[in-house]
Chains A and B, each alone.
Chain A
């Protein structure tokens, strides 16, 4: 083809096309030629005579295609001139290819010259018929960046249908799309490549600022061109993933009723991306993101507040002020769609309902393994543990919210920050126990930094609005009261089951070791009840980050279970797993019972200490409340004094 191109155009420059470009251009040419019915160009019949073997592309579809490239009219004229169509009178394959190459050059910002096509260029981008819709909805600033993403969604729809029916006559089904828009394989390849490449890039860079996904997505799309030097290499791989995701969707479609709203369907890639984002905000995927955290995150998407508010309304199905993982995915997907110019739906689409999302996308494998092992090992304690987690989170919320309502001293800030930091890593390490130690270690600094930033932001916000007098605080005061209820109610059954309520993580000043030991003690009664490998590993792994001295012997002991008795440490906390680990039955039983008693006693002691700590915290909070009341009274007095002046 290259040779032919070179040979044919005696009048034009030699064209060197890469594989992907070749594919793309030949498809486009075939479409233009095919759309015209394979007929000759607008030129005289000699055009048909001149190139009997090579079809010509009719001017109509070609003009449409060129217009779809979004280049200004004079550029297009220049291009047509340069490519030789004007001279020859028709768009033969060479002219067409040269024109496409020039379009690509123009879109990349290069001047429209013959020399431009000599360098390696990205494929030209053609906006399919959604341009009207975009102009209506998106800003022009975003148009350029979002161009590729809409075709992605649309081409996904079309290729999905195509794979289903294996029929290219899907144009009739989507009347809004021009014939050019039901694309052949390569444009979706290209358009999918930068997007998925962008996704993979984004996934790797989730540790950076979260604004990066939103803004980087757009510039990522642009410079993808030069960097994807060989799109030919990528399409096969992505074709495979395409087919895989489509087959998944097809299966889903077979299982459930077919939903006509393809844009609202979340693909595997998107789903993974959303889950990663969720995890960066909230390490525990089965728990939820609080409202303020989600608000900060979604505000970075630069959508307007009313729109974000509406998206929240749609996605928070249970209206609890927090987002679980499916709710979060739905919200994220709606935001993405909105940024791409889709109008927000009146109601939550069926493909975004939480039940559908939970059913459609099972948790990723490692999570499944975790929870499976968890469920096997600690069936009885699963629920109190969940409560534990929830309480920890709600405590975290509570820690967030009271902070901005008062002028916190420096130590309190630090203390609360460290407390919530600990709360988060504790949650996380409890859950991601079994193999993913590195994962948890990596994720923890992220969660720590995020929680600290959210607290700082919240505090800044709290300090700003003291001047407008009667306005209530900008924090989620209502939710904080709800969270308080959540905290203190489940703590009653939790204590009954012998578990500590989460507050051990909260108290700032008491040293963390106390709380850790308390939680260790809590864990060991559980261990004794259900001794198993996984159960041991979870507390051991949890202990590792916090208390180094006692954990090391536990770790060492972990492998040689028979040597458990050797590593008896003075601390009874270690004694628990030691006894559990021993394989020999008769000494083990006796030792176990005695160790159990000791463990229970230590647990009781720790509980009492925790209670004392809690009581102290309570009194401190009461004190702060009193101070706030006094401030309020002072402010009201000031207001009274000022009032007579204004009445005049």
Chain B
């Protein structure tokens, strides 16, 4: 369902960003970047509430003409941002929440790896695979935004394309 998935560290630099390979992927990166302001706003809007009371799922950050951007913050201030195509039949809130939960779980598994230093780019293949599955589902339902045929899209190439843009 997602067109672009990004994991942003606490200090607002990207740990992982991947989008569907289109002709202009930078626009997704730009959208994620601008969404960070909204995320910060939402977090600070909670005011003095303790971290525990704050909900992790932030909901729709802002809609654009073609896309909608959703956000999620973990307790360690790591942000997940997801860009979803608006033309897709409106995804229910629950589905978005479940996707974020999956992301969070995979992120936790990545953190459990002792060879992963927090703050490094995420290069875990399991994480990649999970994100791919999220993106592939979207692609099946949509008319192809992608230049390539559905079968030819390979996760590795997409990851390379996404990761190199970092």
Contact = CB atoms under 8 A, between A and B. Distances in A.
A309 B126 CA distance: 11
Interface string A303-329: 001101110110010011100000000
A270 interface: no
A529 to B, nearest CB: 38
Contacts of A312: 113-115
B121 to A, nearest CB: 10
Contact of B126 (A295, A313, A474, A479): A313
- DSSP class of B's interface residues: helix, strand, loop or mixed? loop
Contact of B125 (A295, A310, A477, A478): A310
Contact of A295 (B108, B115, B118, B119): B115
B114 A476 contact: yes
A294 interface: yes
Nearest to B109: A319
Nearest to A296: B114
Contacts of A310: 124-125
Interface string A495-517: 00000000000000000000000
Contacts of A308: 115
Contact of A309 (B10, B76, B113, B119): B113
Interface in A469-493: 470-472, 474, 476-479
A349 interface: no
Given A309-B123, A313-B125, A470-B10, A295 B112 contact: no
Nearest to A295: B114
A456 to B, nearest CB: 17
Chain B: interface residue count, which band? 10 to 19
B124 A309 contact: yes
* From A292, A309, A479, residue with most partner B Cβ within 10 Å: A309
B11 interface: yes
Interface in B1-44: 10-11
A479 B111 CA distance: 9
Contacts of B153: none
A472 B116 CA distance: 12
Given A470-B11, A471-B119, A472-B119, A291 B112 contact: yes
A476 B114 CA distance: 7
B117 interface: yes
A291 B114 contact: yes
A308 to B, nearest CB: 5
B36 to A, nearest CB: 15
Interface residues of A, number: 24
Given A470-B11, A472-B119, A320 B125 contact: no
Nearest to B127: A313
Nearest to B13: A470
B25 to A, nearest CB: 24
A80 B111 CA distance: 59
Interface string B117-152: 111000111100000000000000000000000000
Interface string A455-478: 000000000000000111010111
A73 B108 CA distance: 55
A470 B78 CA distance: 13
A163 B76 CA distance: 57
B11 A321 contact: no
Contacts of B125: 310, 313
A318 to B, nearest CB: 9
Contact of B111 (A292, A295, A478): A478
B117 A474 contact: yes
Interface in A504-561: none
A582 B107 CA distance: 59
Given A291-B112, A292-B114, A321-B114, A313 B10 contact: no
A292 B117 CA distance: 11
Contacts of A321: 112-114
A155 to B, nearest CB: 31
B11 A313 contact: no
Contacts of B117: 474
B112 A479 contact: yes
Contacts of B109: 313, 319
A292 B115 CA distance: 8
Nearest to B110: A313
Nearest to B114: A291
Contacts of B112: 291, 316, 319-321, 478-479
Nearest to A468: B119
Contacts of B10: 470, 472
Interface string B53-67: 000000000000000
B31 to A, nearest CB: 24
A42 B119 CA distance: 66
A313 B114 CA distance: 10
B118 A472 contact: yes
A313 B111 contact: no
A294 B11 CA distance: 29
B119 A305 contact: no
A305 B115 contact: yes
A314 to B, nearest CB: 9
Contacts of B116: 309
A316 B115 contact: no
A321 B108 CA distance: 10
A321 B111 CA distance: 8
Given A470-B10, A470-B11, A313 B119 contact: no
Contacts of A472: 10, 76, 118-119
A294 B126 contact: no
Nearest to A299: B115
A306 B111 contact: no
Contacts of A295: 114-115
B126 to A, nearest CB: 6
A294 B124 CA distance: 18
Contacts of A320: 112
Contacts of B119: 471-472
Contacts of A479: 112
A132 B115 CA distance: 31
Contacts of B124: 309-310, 313
A308 B112 CA distance: 13
Nearest to B112: A321
Nearest to A323: B114
Contacts of B113: 291, 309, 312-313, 316, 321
B130 to A, nearest CB: 12
A234 to B, nearest CB: 39
5 contacts: A294-B114, A321-B112, A477-B118, A478-B76, A478-B118
Query: Which 9 A-B residue pairings sit nearest by Cβ, starting from the closest?
Result: A291-B114, A321-B112, A309-B115, A295-B114, A319-B109, A470-B11, A472-B118, A308-B115, A312-B113
Given A291-B112, A312-B115, A478-B111, 5 more contacts: A313-B113, A321-B112, A471-B119, A477-B118, A478-B118
Interface of B: 10-11, 76, 108-109, 111-119, 123-126
